Amino acid sequence: AQSVTQLGSHVSVSEGALVLLRCNYSSSVPPYLFWYVQYPNQGLQLLLKYTSAATLVKGINGFEAEFKKSETSFHLTKPSAHMSDAAEYFCAVSPSGAGSYQLTFGKGTKLSVIP
């Protein structure tokens, strides 16, 4: 069994401030972990993924996430928020090697960026 908890359904940051979106997972086997982003009126797109290689993963648009097994966390960060980062972000987990059909998504965190 696997699950994902995203802390905070809505996060607001000022432009230029640090972005931190929290994700904790539960998995009975070694997990693969993902962050997807959904811009308004669009489908989701992959931001970054952890598949048991380096624990610090870099993604598109300056985002990165660190896999911490001891904390069962995979938090998403970006040093300086841009207005264009306003979107909804989803953390997802699957058993390692299982494939996309076993992805479990979190409930999402909506990021607002204040000018």
Partner 1 sequence: DADVTQTPRNRITKTGKRIMLECSQTKGHDRMYWYRQDPGLGLRLIYYSFDVKDINKGEISDGYSVSRQAQAKFSLSLESAIPNQTALYFCATSPGQSTGELFFGEGSRLTVL
Binding site for partner 1 (CB under 8 A): 9, 32, 34, 36, 41-46, 49, 51, 90, 92, 94, 97, 99-101, 103, 105-108
Q: Which is nearer to partner 1, 34 or 81 (CB)?
A: 34
Cβ closer to partner 1: 82 or 107?
107
Question: Among 96, 90, 95, which residue's Cα sits nearest to residue 74?
Answer: 90
Angle 74-60-35 from CA coordinates, rounded to 5°: 30
Least distance to partner 1, CB of residue 17, Å: 25
- With tokens 């841009």, the residue in question is 82
State which residue, 75 or 90, has the beta carbon closest to partner 1.
90
Q: Are 57 and 49 in contact (CB under 8 A)?
A: yes
